[in-house]
Amino acid sequence: MTASTSLRQLSGLPAAPSRLSESALILVDAQNTYRTGVMQLSGVEPALDACASLLARARALKVPVIHIQHDAGPGTPYDIRAEIGAIADKVAPAEGEPVVVKNYPNSFLNTDLDARLKALGVKNLVVVGFMTHMCVNSTTRGAFNLGFAPTVVASDRTTGAAPTSASDTSTASGATRGESHFARRDGSGRASRRRCIGGGRAARGRGWSRGARPSP
């Protein structure tokens, strides 16, 4: 069978995912609302642990980290004035790490995220967070439309301990696991829905990398 050409390749972007050491990490909507209540996701704690592992790598590498926080207003499951809308403690911003508050699935819409990244001189983005079919999807597409090269971290495998050396030579592919809210095919051939961070096989949108595979 002849291998297909991805839209990423057709767009002139490299087939390999960006190295974390050459990127900015964008952590989308890692908020308490996904841990409890009406928006609670199955597998959310392992997913947050994976986010925390990747965040620790980014900090060790001293690459830019930007947290995204969705605000849907007082009394909603995304109320950032309440504990339900707060960023989860496992991935809480460190001193000096900016938080961009958004009101739409696309983190670039009506925010200063684009200006922040361009001021940093960043082109490559590693994107993780919640939920794949909504805000990760929209943010990644928005990034591509603005000239960035986004990589959505694969979510369907567990990885070993992530390296924390500043001499990092791995790609973002060794970063994380989680579960996806994208529809995908299970062994029975029926569409299944799993919730997750990262994009896995679903990250095939225009200009995206295919979900980066974890390193052995």
Are 84 and 77 spatial neighbours (Cβ–Cβ below 8 Å)? yes
From the list 29, 79, 156, 168, the catalytic residue is 29
| Residue 102 annotated to the active site | yes
The whole-angstrom separation of Cα 88 and Cα 216 is 29
Tell me, yes or no, if 135 is annotated catalytic.
yes
Q: CA gyration radius for the chain?
A: 16
**Catalytic residue of the set 62, 71, 90, 102:** 102
Long-range contacts of 95-101 (CB under 8 A, 24+ apart): 97/65, 97/66, 97/67, 98/66, 98/67, 99/66, 99/67, 99/68, 99/69, 100/66, 100/67, 100/68, 100/69, 101/69, 101/70, 101/71
Could you tell me the two tokens for 15?
């087939």
Q: Is 29 a catalytic residue?
A: yes
Residue 59 Ramachandran class (φ > 0 left, ψ -120 to 50 alpha, else beta): alpha
- Tokens 């001021």 belong to 119
- Set 51, 135, 168, 196: catalytic member: 135
Sheet of 149-152: strand order equals 99-102, 65-70, 24-28, 124-129, 149-152
Q: Which residues are catalytic?
A: 29, 102, 135
